[in-house]
């Protein structure tokens, strides 16, 4: 059972929605126009219920099947937010908002789930209920977490959730997935070394924070190289190093560092947090200074449930003939919060040979629309078959 014919018919219309959203990118929770557009379309499709303001600017639509004897409720989730990037695609529908851009393809995700909602509202060829979830603030704001905290899962009785992301470098419309840990936990840290500033010609009268912090940058690399089991994944990257003086002849009083930690398990996450504290305190003590370490826990590891992943892969094979095993991704994904609340699965759909996500020349590939929409529709029709 390949691409659904209806989506071949709808592709032009869905592409128009996608390009309209692309032209009007909105960041984090500021997805006011996009959310209004989504809510308006869901109402026009005839969804049984459309609710805005879940997780601030999130939108939820409910569609009942022609029968409801199964009692099943499936959630399908797309993200709506853009990134603070200056677009360099040169497209005629490029961003009209300076410094904001749909550089992760969430315009495509939103359009594809709208397409599926239109089809499912028209046909209702399933036994149960579908809840379509449109979230803001995937790119670092935790919009998915806020929708969960607003009680979305219980309010609509959602039993399973599914998500999808486009994937540059994979053939258009092909699928890839993996069970278990899939996307990394994404944490951040701030480190402030305090010493005794002074004249650079009299280092013996100072406690040099630059030397101290430089030692710490190198020592932090031993978390991955010497503390973690080599078969486990951990990334510790110091991404900012700021001295309190930029003069040629001043030893600065303080040095601020920040960075990110990526892990694939709670054990590795705990280890990284503990070792960052120990290493920085040890270095500060060695050089006679002080240090403050603040560790911020961001998105948790995104874990695909076994049974739902197997089902999602079967559906992908029914749509496009094959489904590859996806690699581990050290990026984060806010859908992790929904998968902590309910079993479900997250799949990648090929975007073809395009620029990578978050690149100023990236663009969502509209040729992926029929496959992406068909996967959504088939998830529903195969999981909750009509009698
Ligand atoms: Zn992204
Ligand atoms: Zn994304």
- 198 Cα to the center of ligand 2, angstroms: 46
With a pLDDT cut of 70, the percent of the chain lying above it is 100
Distance CA 64, CA 156 (A): 12
- 56 Cα to the center of ligand 2, angstroms: 19
Mean pLDDT of 237-245: 97
With a pLDDT cut of 90, the percent of the chain lying above it is 98
Each residue's pLDDT tens digit, 159-201: 999 999 999 999 999 999 999 999 999 999 999 999 999 999 9
- 139 Cα to the center of ligand 2, angstroms: 7
pLDDT of amino acid 387 = 84
> Ligand 1 being an ion, which residues bring their Cβ within 5 A of it?
104
- 310 Cα to the center of ligand 2, angstroms: 23
User: Which ligand is nearest the CA of 186, by number?
Assistant: 1
> Ligand 2 being an ion, which residues bring their Cβ within 5 A of it?
104
Q: Nearest-CA neighbor of 141 among 231, 53, 79?
A: 79
Would you report the helix, strand and coil content of the chain in percent, each value rounded to 5?
Answer: 35, 30, 35
- 105 Cα to the center of ligand 2, angstroms: 6
- 142 Cα to the center of ligand 2, angstroms: 12
Each residue's pLDDT tens digit, 98-143: 999 999 999 999 999 999 999 999 999 999 999 999 999 999 999 9
User: Which ligand is nearest the CA of 109, by number?
Assistant: 2
- 354 Cα to the center of ligand 2, angstroms: 15
Confidence grade of residue 4 (pLDDT, cut at 50, 70, 90): confident
Distance CA 226, CA 224 (A): 6
- 85 Cα to the center of ligand 1, angstroms: 11
Q: Is the pLDDT of residue 53 over 90?
A: yes
- 105 Cα to the center of ligand 1, angstroms: 8
- 104 Cα to the center of ligand 1, angstroms: 5
Core vs surface per residue 60-84: b (16+ CB within 10 A) or e: bbbbbbeeeebebbbbbbbbbbbbe
Under 8 Å between Cβ of 22 and 97: no
Distance CA 42, CA 348 (A): 24
- 106 Cα to the center of ligand 2, angstroms: 6
Compute CA distances 120 → 276, 290, 300, whole Å. Answer: 50, 60, 32
- 4 Cα to the center of ligand 1, angstroms: 28
pLDDT of amino acid 29 = 98
Q: Nearest-CA neighbor of 5 among 122, 128, 174?
A: 122
- 102 Cα to the center of ligand 1, angstroms: 9
Q: Is the pLDDT of residue 1 over 60?
A: no
- 206 Cα to the center of ligand 1, angstroms: 44
Confidence grade of residue 346 (pLDDT, cut at 50, 70, 90): very high
Beta bridge partners of 126: 385
Which residue stretches of 24-131 are H helix? 32-45, 106-123
User: Which ligand is nearest the CA of 346, by number?
Assistant: 2
User: Which ligand is nearest the CA of 351, by number?
Assistant: 2
182, with CB counted inside 10 A (0-12, 13-18, 19+), is buried
- 19 Cα to the center of ligand 2, angstroms: 17
Confidence grade of residue 2 (pLDDT, cut at 50, 70, 90): confident
Distance CA 307, CA 209 (A): 52
- Residue found under tokens 């054990």: 267
- 100 Cα to the center of ligand 2, angstroms: 14
Taking the CA atoms of 190, 337, 95 and 108 in sequence, report the sign of the dihedral they define.
positive
- 44 Cα to the center of ligand 1, angstroms: 29
Each residue's pLDDT tens digit, 359-382: 999 999 999 999 999 999 999 999
Beta bridge partners of 51: 60
Distance CA 81, CA 31 (A): 6
- 168 Cα to the center of ligand 2, angstroms: 11
Mean pLDDT of 288-314: 98
Taking the CA atoms of 377, 168, 138 and 303 in sequence, report the sign of the dihedral they define.
positive
HEC readout, 145-188: HHHHHCCHHHHCCCCEEEEEEEECCCCCCCEEECCEEEECEEEE
Distance CA 337, CA 66 (A): 31
pLDDT of amino acid 203 = 98
Each residue's pLDDT tens digit, 254-270: 999 999 999 999 999 99
DSSP 8-state assignment for residue 363: -
State residue 30 phi and psi, 5-degree precision.
-85, 30
- 177 Cα to the center of ligand 1, angstroms: 18
Grouping H, G, I as helix, E, B as strand and the rest as coil, residue 4 is: coil
Q: Is the pLDDT of residue 36 over 70?
A: yes
- 139 Cα to the center of ligand 1, angstroms: 6
- The chain-wide mean pLDDT, for the chain, equals 97
User: Which ligand is nearest the CA of 358, by number?
Assistant: 1
Distance CA 363, CA 60 (A): 26
- 358 Cα to the center of ligand 1, angstroms: 6
- 18 Cα to the center of ligand 1, angstroms: 17
- 356 Cα to the center of ligand 1, angstroms: 10
């Amino acid at each position: 059972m390949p691409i659904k014919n209806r989506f071949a018919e709808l592709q032009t219309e869905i592409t128009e929605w996608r390009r309209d959203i692309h032209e009007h990118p909105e960041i984090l929770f500021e997805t006011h126009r996009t959310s209004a557009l989504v809510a308006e379309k869901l109402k026009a499709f005839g969804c049984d219920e459309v609710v805005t303001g879940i997780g601030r600017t999130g939108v939820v639509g409910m569609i009942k099947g022609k029968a409801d004897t199964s009692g099943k409720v499936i959630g399908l989730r797309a993200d709506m937010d853009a990134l603070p990037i200056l677009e360099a695609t040169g497209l005629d529908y490029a961003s009209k908002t300076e410094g904001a851009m749909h550089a992760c393809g969430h315009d495509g995700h939103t359009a594809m789930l709208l397409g599926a909602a239109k089809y499912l509202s028209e046909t209702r060829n399933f036994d149960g209920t579908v809840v379509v979830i449109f979230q803001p603030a995937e790119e670092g704001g935790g919009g998915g977490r806020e929708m969960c905290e607003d009680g979305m899962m219980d309010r609509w009785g959602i039993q399973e959730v599914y998500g999808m992301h486009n994937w540059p470098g994979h053939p258009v419309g092909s699928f890839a997935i993996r069970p278990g840990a899939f996307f990394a936990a994404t944490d951040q840290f701030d480190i402030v070394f305090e010493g005794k500033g002074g004249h650079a010609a009299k280092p013996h009268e100072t406690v040099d924070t630059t030397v101290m912090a430089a030692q710490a940058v190198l020592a932090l690399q031993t978390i991955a190289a010497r503390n973690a089991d080599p078969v486990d994944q951990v990334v510790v990257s110091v991404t900012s190093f700021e001295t309190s003086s930029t003069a040629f002849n001043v030893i600065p009083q303080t040095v601020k560092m920040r960075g990110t930690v990526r892990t694939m398990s709670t054990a590795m996450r705990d280890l990284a947090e503990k070792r960052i504290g120990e290493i920085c305190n040890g270095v500060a003590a060695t050089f006679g200074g002080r240090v403050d370490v603040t560790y911020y826990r961001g998105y948790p590891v995104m874990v695909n449930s076994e049974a739902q992943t197997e089902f999602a892969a079967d559906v992908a094979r029914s749509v496009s003939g094959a489904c590859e095993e996806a690699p581990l991704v050290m990026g984060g994904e806010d859908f992790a919060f929904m998968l902590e609340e309910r079993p479900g699965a997250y799949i990648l759909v090929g975007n073809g040979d395009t620029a990578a996500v978050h690149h100023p020349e990236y663009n969502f590939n509209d040729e992926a629309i029929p496959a992406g929409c068909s996967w959504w529709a088939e998830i529903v029709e195969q999981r909750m078959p009509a009698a």
